[in-house]
Each structure stands twice: as C-alpha cells, then as structure tokens.
C-alpha cells in the first residue's frame, strides 16, 4: 500500500481580496517552540505594504457607505465562519505557541466572542459617540462620528489570534479599511483568518494582512500619505516615537502602544479612536 504525501499549506499575503506572494519573493521560516520547522510565511516588502494601502483606499468608499446594520451582519458572518473552522485554529495555535489544546481553544473562543461583540456595536456606537448639541437659536446642531479612512495596524505580537482580532474588528465597525501587520512570530493564524474574511461577506480590500517584520513595514505605513490613522497597539518593542514623528508629517492620527494595560481589550474607546466628528447645523421649521 502506497503512502500518501501530505500537502503542506502555503501561507501568502492577503491584499485586495487575493492571496499574492510577496513581490520580493521572500519568505521566512515559522518554527514550533521546540525549533521544528512548521511552515514558510511570506516576508512582506514595502512594495507589498504600498499595494495593500492602495487596496484599502479603494475599499473605503463602499465599506463606509454600507449601512451600519449591514456592517454588523458582515462582522457577525465572520464570527460564524470562524466558529465553523474552530478546530483548525485551535490546532494552528497549539503548533505555533506550544500551549495546551484547552488554552488554544479558549483563545479561539475569545476571538469569536470579540467579533460578535464588535458586530453588535455597528448600529449602536453612533448613538453613543454622537450627540445633539444645545445651541441658542432656531437650529439643530448634531455631531456625528464618521470613519477616518485607511487604518494601519501593528497587531499585538504575543498572541496568534485574539490580539489580531481585537485590533482589526473595532476599526471595521465604523467603516474604516485596514492594513494590518500580523505577529511575526505567530503569523499562520493571521492568514487563516484572512481565508475566513475572503469567504465571508467582507469586501476585498477592506482588510489586508501582511506577514513579516513589523520593524521593516511600520515606517512605511507611518509615513504613507494615504494612511489616515495608525494603531501601534503591537509596536511596543519598536521605536514607536519615530513612527509617531513620521505619521505627524502627513497629519496621521496615531494610537500609541499602552504600557501596563491590555490595550487590545474590547472597548468603545477602540471603536471611536479612529472616527472623525462631523457637526451639522440645520434650521428648525418655523411652521
């Protein structure tokens, strides 16, 4: 009886709804905690980062123009598909991090729950973050939160899945698109999550996933004029002050890493961090 050869998975980038290799052709080895070879992951270049920003910029109008209810349904659909592939994600986390199956399962469950939590906020955050302002005169004065645009994210580097989800999901709630640099040490779950996004109702380009070196990619995202906001939640080990300075050159909003706190914990503050407030005046009817 012949022995069947296994088909190893190829982990690529996720840009514009497609799964390209790095334009540089570079890869890097992902190993188990014991040092055993696990897989090759694409080592994204600055050209890949630029391509991802172009894709994200092109997707902003459609995603932000969708109704809040529709965005909530799309994010909930991501949670549904992630639930259906739960066993795969548990296995990947065990292989990458060396934790027990029960610990990995708890991380996957938490990631799914966070998708659901943020999905529920899509049609509610506006009422909480917006306001009707008191003014003198026959006018309505209303403040409404709107998406910032393209958000560059350096994902938390110490978790395989839950930190990534916790960084991506809140930016999507308000209609932003995302370019995220995944954990360099644990990149495999990020590309598997991209497969979930590709088979859900998330439009291509709304989420773009890069794997490789955050130290190499972060400066290009920080200085890119079409990146409107930068989330450095996973950049604590980088020279993030320089990243803030680079972002300031193009008036890019920056959410710096937070020391001593769980910066990626689910919160309304993470949703509103990348919104702009538009104030509208409207005359009251005198009839």
Q: Residue 206 has what DSSP assignment?
A: S
Domain ranges of the chain: 27-283
Whose tokens are 């959410």? That residue is 255
Q: Which residue would you say has higher pLDDT here, 132 or 103?
A: 103
- How many Cα atoms within 13 Å fall on the side-chain side of residue 186? 26
The residue-averaged pLDDT of 257-265 equals: 61
Q: Which of 203, 163, 198, 195 is nearest to 181 (CA)?
A: 163
- Whole-number pLDDT of residue 260: 41
**E-strand spans in the chain?**
27-31, 37-42, 131-132, 139-147, 150-154, 177-181, 207-210, 229-231, 253-255, 275-283
The domain made up of 27-283 has a fold known as Aldehyde Dehydrogenase; Chain A, domain 1 (3.40.605)
Q: What is the mean pLDDT of the segment spanning 110-115? A: 96
Q: What is the mean pLDDT of the chain?
A: 92
Q: Which residues pair with 276 in a beta bridge?
A: 146
**3-state helix, strand and coil shares in percent for the chain, rounded to the nearest 5:** 45, 20, 40
Q: CB–CB of 96/160 below 8 Å?
A: yes
Which of 67-71, 139-143, 253-257 comes out lowest in average pLDDT? Answer: 139-143
d(Cα 108, Cα 99) in Å, to the nearest integer?
13
Q: pLDDT tens for residues 178-223? A: 999 999 999 999 999 999 999 999 999 999 999 999 999 999 999 9
């Amino acid at each position: 009886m012949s022995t069947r050869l296994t088909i190893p998975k190829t982990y690529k980038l996720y840009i514009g709804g497609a799964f390209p290799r790095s334009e540089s052709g570079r890869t890097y080895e992902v190993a188990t905690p014991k040092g055993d070879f696990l897989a090759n992951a694409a080592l994204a270049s600055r050209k890949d980062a630029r391509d991802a920003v172009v894709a994200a910029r092109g997707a902003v109008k459609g995603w932000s123009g969708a109704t809040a209810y529709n965005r909530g349904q799309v994010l909930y659909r991501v949670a549904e598909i992630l639930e259906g592939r739960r066993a795969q994600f548990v296995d990947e986390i065990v292989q990458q991090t060396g934790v027990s199956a029960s610990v990995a399962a708890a991380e996957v469950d938490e990631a799914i729950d966070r998708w659901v939590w943020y999905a529920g906020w899509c049609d509610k955050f506006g009422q909480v973050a917006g306001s009707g302002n008191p003014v003198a005169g026959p006018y309505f004065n209303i403040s409404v939160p709107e998406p910032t645009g393209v958000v560059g994210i350096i994902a938390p580097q110490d978790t395989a899945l839950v930190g990534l989800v916790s960084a991506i999901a809140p930016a999507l709630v308000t209609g932003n698109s995302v370019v995220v640099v995944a954990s360099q040490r644990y990149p495999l779950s990020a590309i598997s999550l991209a497969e979930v996004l590709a088979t859900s109702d998330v439009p291509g380009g709304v989420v773009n996933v890069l794997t490789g070196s955050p130290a190499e990619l972060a400066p290009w995202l920080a200085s890119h004029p079409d990146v409107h906001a930068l989330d450095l939640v996973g950049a604590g080990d980088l020279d993030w002050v320089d990243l803030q300075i680079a972002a300031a050159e193009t008036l890019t909003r920056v959410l710096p890493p937070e020391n001593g706190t769980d910066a990626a914990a689910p919160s309304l503050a993470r949703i509103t961090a990348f919104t702009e407030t538009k104030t509208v005046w409207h005359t009251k009817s005198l009839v």
